[in-house]
Amino acid sequence: MQKSSMSRRRFLQSTGTAAIWLPTSVRGYSANEVQALYIDGEMQGEVSKWELDTPSLCVDLDLLEENIAKMQETLSANGIASRPHAKTHKTPIIAQMQLDAGSVGICTAKVSEAEVMFQNGIDRILMTTTNVTPTKIRRAMKLRQRCPGFIQATDSTVNANLLSQAASTMNITADVVVDIDPGGHRTGITPGQSALELAKLIDQLPGLNLRGLLCYDGGSQHVKGFEQRKSQTLERLVAATETYDLFFRGGLSTEIFSGGGTGTYNIDHETRGLTDVQVGSYVFMDSQYMDIGGESNSEIYSDFQTSLTILSTVLNDQYEGRATTDAGAKACTINKPWARIKGESGMSFSSGSDEFGTIRYEKEASRTYKVGDKVELIVSHCDPVVNLYNHMYAIRGDRVEAVWQIAARGMSA
């Protein structure tokens, strides 16, 4: 079906079972109007996603639920837990869906994200970044005071001492894990003796409770080709496993050994000792992950489905071989590979302009667009794209079922 013919439909109840959408008024809905229709968790009217003002961020609920279920099934079958990273979706209701499906907790990258998640009812949070300033340490400790399920990472003896002082001052015990560098030297302490010394210090310091370690190998997640990805990440995690052994032999907690992600979710259980995978992008997927290839499909990483899309409208069709849309870098980011037009072939999309997207037709394009037509885009890189929007529309079929606040949007501090 051509997208343009799906615009502006009206929901008509037929026999009480099947739902039929028919074209309706030409009004469409602004973001404010759709939000006004969403009261107490229920849409008070029938709105098709094709009636939404654009650019708008949409998540397909069926695909999202399938992704969450498949991840949980796979990890469970492999004898490992999931601790999904909320930096991807920044949306408490998705975090709750992940916990409801069996995740042991969620991760956050920033203390502000953790605060927002807790304010929205999420109470098992592992903050994977070290808090180094007095402001952030104070906030993390205040959060820990209210949220017994809050755990934070640390990667130096200086920092562990600061955490201990802060916790002692507040008369609390703070749960911490040691962040281990997988070799990228971005964050974390060097595995082996340095990490062991830090763990021993934490174990002795007042106010701190050692819970184990984490080692996030971000550099392996997007390695193309399943076998290359597998060999690289397993090799890079060896030092972390050896550190895990040192902790274990030293009588230190190894209750948590967290690491891995969407690119290695079906590999990480082979890292001995690893307890849970910090999967993030699997809920949405994106063109960056599609291109890495999977175990069963070397061309496209199709283990999870592309649930997250941006709806955009064609603004100009006057020039040969191209069309201009209303979704540019401020709606799509400039991550590569570029966003892809869902369901179409023989054309490319780019968002190099701040305000405008560009469609270029190649030979045998599956269709062309007219001004006003809607385009649905599979996002380039889901994390920073989500961070551009205040809310996402949760879609079932074509129907807007909910308007979800991206409550931790912009929470980079």
Binding interface with its own copies (CB under 8 A): 26-31, 53-56, 87, 109-110, 112, 129-130, 132-136, 138-139, 155-156, 158-159, 181, 185-190, 218, 313-316, 318-319, 322, 324, 326-331, 333-335, 353-356, 358, 371-372, 383-384, 387-390, 410, 412-413
- How far is residue 168 from each of residues 29, 145, 154, 161, 394, measured CA to CA in Å? 53, 12, 17, 10, 44
Indicate the residue among 49 and 269 with the shorter CB distance to its own copies. 49
At residue 309, φ and ψ (nearest 5 deg) are -135, 160
Shortest Cβ distance from residue 286 to its own copies (Å)?
A: 12
CB 54 to its own copies: min, Å? 6
Nearer to its own copies, 307 or 351 (CB): 351
Pick the closer one to its own copies by CB: 224 or 360: 360
Residue 225 one-letter amino acid: G
Peptide bond into 191 cis (omega under 30): no
| Least separation in angstroms between CB 254 and its own copies | 23
Tokens of 2: 């051509």
| Least distance in angstroms from the C-beta of 310 to its own copies | 10
| Closest approach of its own copies to the CB of residue 100, in Å | 26
Measured CA to CA, the distance from residue 327 to residue 59 in angstroms comes to 17
Q: Are 399 and 19 in contact (CB under 8 A)?
A: yes
Judged by beta carbon, residue 80 or residue 323, the one nearer its own copies is 323
Q: What Å distances lie between residue 176 and 126, 252, 255, CA to CA?
A: 9, 12, 11
Minimal distance in Å, beta carbon 217 to its own copies?
Answer: 13
DSSP state of 351: -
User: Residue 286 and residue 301: Cα distance in Å, rounded?
Assistant: 10
Nearer to its own copies, 104 or 334 (CB): 334
58 or 80: whose CB is closer to its own copies? 58
Closest to its own copies by CB, 155 or 303: 155
Instruction: Tell me how far, at minimum, the Cβ of 186 lies from its own copies, in Å.
Output: 5
Which stretches of 46-194 are assigned E, i.e. beta strand?
Answer: 56-60, 81-82, 106-108, 125-130, 150-154, 174-179
| Rounded (5°) CA angle 103-105-111 | 145
Whether 154 contacts 163, CB under 8 Å: yes
